[in-house]
């Protein structure tokens, strides 16, 4: 699938009901087929009259956002950000027990243990940060090429790329990610989300950044 204009909706890497009972089918359908599709459609609409940007990847549109014509700069930032963050969020979940196992992320676990003491301690700190997202946004476990980890909140559809960082793990803290099942109980959603966290993908992300 092309990583440039016109951007297309990638299918989920698992079935809509794969994350039950933690993340419900209806939420996954709406979140992927409507919310994510809207960001893609709006991004394509913003780029439609700018052929000089049609070869740019999602990452380039975000990283070099200052070079995007001012008239569409904010629309591109918000909608490319929405696509980038959602792709990372959906890829970061799984129903595969092997991928969820800490053994699937040896390098990342070593660094988490060094910096946070244990994976359980990391989860407590991460959850505290997710609960602190005011309004709509994300919590990221992010790193740079040094491999040092930081838990960082981003508002709206801002991404780690604008801070020259990469997300290793990321949770969507917008209400649409959990409201149908968890209502206003974001803490319950976070606990459920930890049960479908794809540590194999997180390890790939972590190794990829250190080698880039």
Nearest to 135 by CA among 175, 178, 79, 168: 175
Complex with Mn ion: residue 30 or 207, whichever CB lies closer = 30
Q: Which two tokens stand for residue 19?
A: 């994350």
| Smallest separation, CB 78 to Mn ion (Å) | 13
- Minimum distance of Mn ion from residue 45's CB (angstroms): 19
- Assess contact for 166 and 62: CB atoms under 8 A: no
Q: Which residues bind Mn ion (CB under 5 A)?
A: 172, 174
Compare residues 111 and 139 and give the one whose CB is closer to Mn ion: 139
Q: Which residue is nearest to Mn ion (CB)?
A: 172
Nearer to Mn ion, 172 or 203 (CB): 172
Q: Which is nearer to Mn ion, 88 or 199 (CB)?
A: 88
Minimum CB distance to Mn ion, residue 35 (Å): 5
Shortest reach from residue 174's CB to Mn ion, in Å: 5
What is the edge-to-edge ordering of all strands in the sheet holding 137-143?
149-155, 137-143, 166-172
The answer to whether the CB of 141 falls within 8 A of the CB of 167 is yes
Q: Which 3 state secondary structure label does DSSP give 148? A: coil
């Amino acid at each position: 699938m092309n990583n440039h204009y016109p951007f297309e909706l990638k299918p989920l890497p698992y079935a809509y009901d794969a994350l039950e009972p933690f993340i419900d089918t209806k939420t996954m359908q709406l979140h992927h087929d409507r919310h994510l599709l809207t960001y893609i459609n709006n991004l394509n609409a913003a780029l439609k009259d700018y052929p000089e940007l049609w070869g740019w990847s999602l990452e380039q549109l975000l990283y070099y956002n200052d070079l995007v014509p001012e008239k569409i700069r904010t629309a591109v930032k918000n909608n490319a950000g929405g696509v980038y963050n959602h792709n990372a969020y959906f890829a970061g979940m799984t129903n595969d027990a092997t991928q969820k196992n800490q053994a699937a992320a040896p390098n990342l676990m070593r660094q988490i243990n060094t910096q946070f003491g244990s994976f359980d301690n990391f989860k407590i700190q991460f959850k505290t940060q997710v609960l602190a997202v005011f309004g709509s946004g994300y919590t990221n476990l992010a790193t740079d090429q040094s491999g040092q980890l930081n838990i960082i909140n981003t508002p709206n559809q801002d991404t780690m790329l604008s801070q020259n960082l990469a997300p290793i793990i990321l949770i969507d803290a917008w209400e649409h990610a959990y409201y149908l099942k968890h209502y206003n109980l974001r803490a319950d959603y976070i606990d459920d989300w930890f049960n479908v966290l794809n540590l194999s993908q997180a390890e790939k992300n972590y190794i990829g950044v250190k080698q880039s």
